[in-house]
Amino acid sequence: MSRLGPVYTLAAGAVIVVALGAASVKAAPSFQQVGAGQDTTAAAPPAEPFPAPSQEPSDQPSQQPSGDPAAKPDATPKKADYAGVVQGNGGLVAIAVRDGKAIAYFCDGRIEAWLKGTAENGTVTLEGKDSLITAALGGGKAQGRLQVGKAKWRFTAPLVKKPSGLYRASAVVRGAKIVGGWIVLPNGQEVGRVQIGGSGEPAPRFVPGTAVDYYGITLRPEEPDDFIDELAR
The residue ranges that bind another protein (CB under 8 A) are 1, 3-7, 9-10, 12-13, 16-17, 20-21, 23-24, 27, 29-30, 109-112, 149-150, 173-176, 193, 196-202, 215-217
Residue 122 CB coordination number (10 Å):
16
| Least distance to another protein, CB of residue 201, Å | 5
Residue 89 or 143: the one with the smaller Cβ distance to another protein is 89
Residue 45 or 216: the one with the smaller Cβ distance to another protein is 216
| Least distance to another protein, CB of residue 42, Å | 26
Residue 27 or 52: the one with the smaller Cβ distance to another protein is 27
* 200 close to 117: Cβ distance less than 8 angstroms: no
| Least distance to another protein, CB of residue 108, Å | 8
| Least distance to another protein, CB of residue 196, Å | 7
- Residue 163: phi and psi, rounded to 5, are -85, 5
Residue 34 or 124: the one with the smaller Cβ distance to another protein is 34
In order, the DSSP letters of 105-118 are EEE-SS-EEEEEEE
Residue 21 or 140: the one with the smaller Cβ distance to another protein is 21
| Least distance to another protein, CB of residue 142, Å | 24
The residue among 182, 159, 162, 163 whose CA lies nearest residue 77 is 159
Residue 61 or 175: the one with the smaller Cβ distance to another protein is 175
| Least distance to another protein, CB of residue 132, Å | 15
